């Protein structure tokens, strides 16, 4: 029995290592993020720094595209409100800042770690891509709601989450296909 367990572990060592690394790094990073959130309350950046900056940058993109925008703190909930032409269109809450998506991306890349240099560069580049696309996503949802309010749920609940998670999946595929460890002859 013990020999069979040892044989199973040896045969599946790579899968077990992947799962331990993925879930271990995900849990650790999620706990660090939760700690950040519990300490992140500030009178300057509401509701906390990352969400505040994401809302600010999203509003700046909308303004750059020629819309009369407004950005304000929500009085009812920990959120930033973005509006167009004086009408509030969206609430940007902590879940909108893409940190949890970046943690998921990062955990997968760490589980398929190559050299530290390649891994860290890809994590940095992928995180920048995800963060940037998330800001554009919020801007496009806001503009979309302004013009097509009847499609709010579809845009927020289906279209844009599919897009952002699709990009993460594509980044994973690129990593696995193009950054394989050199095979060793054993």
Range of the domain at 119: 2-178
| Residue 35, in any domain of the structure | yes
75-102 mean pLDDT: 95
pTM of the model: 0.88
| Residue 137, in any domain of the structure | yes
Q: How far is CA 186 from CA 15, 51, 65, 176, 183, in A?
A: 18, 49, 58, 22, 9
Flag whether pLDDT at 182 surpasses 70.
Answer: no
| Residue 183, in any domain of the structure | no
Flag whether pLDDT at 104 surpasses 80.
Answer: yes
pLDDT at site 153: 94
41-62 mean pLDDT: 90
Spell out the residues 6+ positions from residue 40 whose beta carbon is closer than 8 angstroms to its own.
48, 49, 50
Flag whether pLDDT at 28 surpasses 70.
Answer: yes
Burial 35-49 (b: 16+ CB within 10 A, else e): eebeebeeeebbbbe
Residue % of the chain over a pLDDT of 90: 76
pLDDT at site 122: 96
**Total domains in the fold of the chain:** 1
Q: How far is CA 166 from CA 25, 69, 149, in A?
A: 21, 29, 24
| Residue 98, in any domain of the structure | yes
Spell out the residues 6+ positions from residue 152 whose beta carbon is closer than 8 angstroms to its own.
144, 145
């Amino acid at each position: 029995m013990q020999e069979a367990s040892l044989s199973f572990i040896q045969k599946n060592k790579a899968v077990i290592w992947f799962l331990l690394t993925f879930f271990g790094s995900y849990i650790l990073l999620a706990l660090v993020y939760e700690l950040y959130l519990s300490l992140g309350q500030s009178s300057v950046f509401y509701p906390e720094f990352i969400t505040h900056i994401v809302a600010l940058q999203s509003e700046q993109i909308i303004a750059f595209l020629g819309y009369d925008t407004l950005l304000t703190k929500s009085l009812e909930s920990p959120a930033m409100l973005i509006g167009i032409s004086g009408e509030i269109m969206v609430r940007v809450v902590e879940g909108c800042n893409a940190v949890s998506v970046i943690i998921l991306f990062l955990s997968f890349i760490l589980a398929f770690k190559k050299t530290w240099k390649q891994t860290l560069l890809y994590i940095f580049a992928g995180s920048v891509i995800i963060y940037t696309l998330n800001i554009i996503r919020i801007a496009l949802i806001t503009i979309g709601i302004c013009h097509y309010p009847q499609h709010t749920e579809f845009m927020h609940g289906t279209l844009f989450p599919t897009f952002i998670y699709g990009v993460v999946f594509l980044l994973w595929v690129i990593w696995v296909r193009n950054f394989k460890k050199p095979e060793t002859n054993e």
